[in-house]
Structure 1
């Protein structure tokens, strides 16, 4: 006479491990969404500054740097500067990408007479003859007598700008790069390119994606929990 195996009782214990894993994943997704919201606010402020910059007159460099010394954020400010006469400098071009092409940007120190700083590094623009090259040689240039451009923090730019500034540490360089719009006299073979060619702003889209994934995760967890407790 055959015996029927006893039925196995369903496991209805609360899934502690699954719940902890779900909460950790949910917290990570929400944190990523919150980070994108902060990036959205930063990008909107940046785009607003650029819009104002289109019509803003150039201010004297010394005046703007004095405001920076008092703690004011002066990045993305249009300034003008007169460079003291100095020798030509040989600096390696700085790598960049513009309109989908590899470009190399020329930089040169501009000796100044401001109270706190001895020079500011000028980004003169794109070296036309080196566009598309993967290993360009050094460029020897002298600072222009006068330049107008946009102040930018080195950390927001590509290339090892901070290392270049450290090369002139003895001259007390200003903690900004001047992205030149116009230079007098204009350096030959260089195209000024002070601002990014295109600045995207999709942070709201990214934030909604992360928050959407977080909500979806909760629905999946709830469905699994309901199925487990109902069986």
Structure 2
């Protein structure tokens, strides 16, 4: 490299460094702001859940009216009566208290002939087969209380595996596919939401009810502080570098 080329290369290196640093600073500020927005969203969600779950259970007809009017029945306490169709249960991959297994979604035949998918709760991998937990397969008419849950119209994320209805394993709650593969009577009407049964629903022990996640982690403030802290540190480094340049002969 000649003496004439050296200053030019030095300027190019400086411009590249400054440009990269500014881009990184913008990204860090964006991430911090995004986490602040997520913080407000999570706080509103937790407040909504807390207010709803403390209310008295509503008749199923009221939950249906809410679904028609607002499309949001999540976490409203509800009650329903009917008879389980155990042969049509669907299995949703899940974890419970550190153990892997399945949530058992069983259609509840209502008095008017329609069906409501009830998440009866968790069973370990080795109890997926209903014949290994017959004590919990209630044949009599039942009254179920729990929390209503919204349907999902699409897979929540590309990282979620595709459902495997042929193996009766679901990774996201596609209620249409669950109903279509459950062997229900042709033309059967299935309510467009779910009911998560509480812990009193299964006197036989399995499935383990009351599995709805209510206490959700809220770490967005820490994440926001981290991103803003990194942005501040980077800004400090850039400021110190410019200050040294101004003082350099």
TM-score, normalised relative to structure 1: 0.74
Structure 1 residue 86 displacement after superposition = 6.1
1:61 paired residue number:
60
Hey, what's the Cα distance between the residues in 2 that align with 1:18 and 1:46?
42
2:108 is the counterpart of 1:98: no
RMSD: 3.5
Equivalent of 1:167, from 153, 170, 178?
A: 178
Hey, what's the Cα distance between the residues in 2 that align with 1:38 and 1:172?
39
Hey, what's the Cα distance between the residues in 1 that align with 2:197 and 2:84?
18
Judged with a 3 Å threshold, the aligned counterparts in structure 2 of structure 1 residues 45 and 188 are, in CA distance, closer, same or farther, namely same
Please give the residue correspondences for 1:78-227 in structure 2 after superposition, counting only pairs within 5 Å: 78-83=77-82, 85=83, 87-112=85-110, 118-127=114-123, 130=124, 133=125, 137-139=128-130, 141=137, 145-154=142-151, 160-163=171-174, 165-169=176-180, 171-181=188-198, 186=203, 188-196=205-213, 198-227=215-244
SS state of the match for residue 145, structure 2? strand
Give unpaired runs (5+ residues) of structure 2.
132-136, 161-169, 181-186
SS state of the match for residue 93, structure 1? strand
1:70 paired residue number:
69
Hey, what's the Cα distance between the residues in 2 that align with 1:230 and 1:113?
85
Judged with a 3 Å threshold, the aligned counterparts in structure 2 of structure 1 residues 227 and 184 are, in CA distance, closer, same or farther, namely closer
1:18 paired residue number:
17
Structure 1 residue 213 displacement after superposition = 1.1
Q: Deviations over 1:93-140 (max 9, x none)?
A: 3222222222432210123468xx94321111122xx2xx4x654337
Hey, what's the Cα distance between the residues in 1 that align with 2:145 and 2:65?
18
Judged with a 3 Å threshold, the aligned counterparts in structure 2 of structure 1 residues 119 and 19 are, in CA distance, closer, same or farther, namely farther
TM-score, normalised relative to structure 2: 0.70
Structure 1 residue 183 displacement after superposition = 6.0
Judged with a 3 Å threshold, the aligned counterparts in structure 2 of structure 1 residues 216 and 113 are, in CA distance, closer, same or farther, namely farther
Residues 66 and 73, structure 2, Cα contact 8 Å, conserved in 1:
yes
Hey, what's the Cα distance between the residues in 1 that align with 2:204 and 2:174?
24
Give unpaired runs (5+ residues) of structure 1.
none
2:183 paired residue number:
none
Q: How many residues align?
A: 217
Judged with a 3 Å threshold, the aligned counterparts in structure 2 of structure 1 residues 218 and 110 are, in CA distance, closer, same or farther, namely same
Structure 1 residue 215 displacement after superposition = 1.4
Hey, what's the Cα distance between the residues in 2 that align with 1:175 and 1:202?
32
Residues 120 and 178, structure 1, Cα contact 8 Å, conserved in 2:
yes
Instruction: Identify the structure with the greater helix proportion.
Output: 2
Residues 84 and 107, structure 2, Cα contact 8 Å, conserved in 1:
no
Structure 1 residue 59 displacement after superposition = 0.6
